[in-house]
Amino acid sequence: MTMETEMQGGCLCGALRYSVSAMPFDADHCHCRMCQKSTGAVIGSWMDFLIEQVTWLCGKPSEYASSDTTRRGFCSTCGTSISFRDTGHPTYYTLSIASLDNPNLIAVKYHIHTDSQVKWLTIEDSIPRYSGSRS
């Protein structure tokens, strides 16, 4: 990806806008209960960048400490769940794939926390699945 093809995204109301200067180094579908509750969806789909690859063009997310090391970012105007930071990995920044202007640009690599996947959801992809975290 070059600067001419950088991806952009933002929240529902437009108060938050960002650009990323590279493709994510990782991307996953998370089925954990915290992601389900914080996104209001049965899966949280996330993409990971180095912090210097993310530029906030308009506004910055408000953050909620959902655990000792997790900060979940959201728009304080419309409530969009947009980011995730693990304070144990201060050089990484995670963004919601759904917040991209074109989320089809991202290929998710695996599912995590599938032990919390809702039973009525059938997923027929061939990417790896982990019952907990991948590590």
Q: Where are the domains of the chain?
A: 14-28+45-109
Q: Tell me how far apart the alpha carbons of residues 127 and 107 are, in angstroms, rounded to a whole number.
A: 10
The two most distant CA atoms of the chain are separated, in Å, by 42
Strands 81-86 and 7-10, by their bridges, are unpaired
Query: 5 falls in which pLDDT band (50, 70, 90)?
Result: low
Statement: residue 13 has pLDDT above 80? yes
Q: What is the pLDDT of residues 14-45, one digit of tens each?
A: 999 999 999 999 999 999 999 999 999 999 99
Burial class (CB in 10 A: 0-12, 13-18, 19+), 19: middle
The dihedral through the CA atoms of 114, 79, 60, 57 has a sign that is positive
- What is the pTM (predicted TM-score) of this model? 0.93
CATH of domain 14-28+45-109: 2.170.150.70
Quote the pLDDT of residue 108: 97
Report whether pLDDT(63) > 50.
yes
User: What does DSSP say about strands 81-86 and 92-96: parallel, antiparallel, or unpaired?
Assistant: antiparallel
pLDDT (tens digit per residue) in 77-122: 999 999 999 999 999 999 999 999 999 999 999 999 999 999 999 9
* Residue 116: HSE in the Cβ half-sphere, 13 Å Cα cutoff: 18
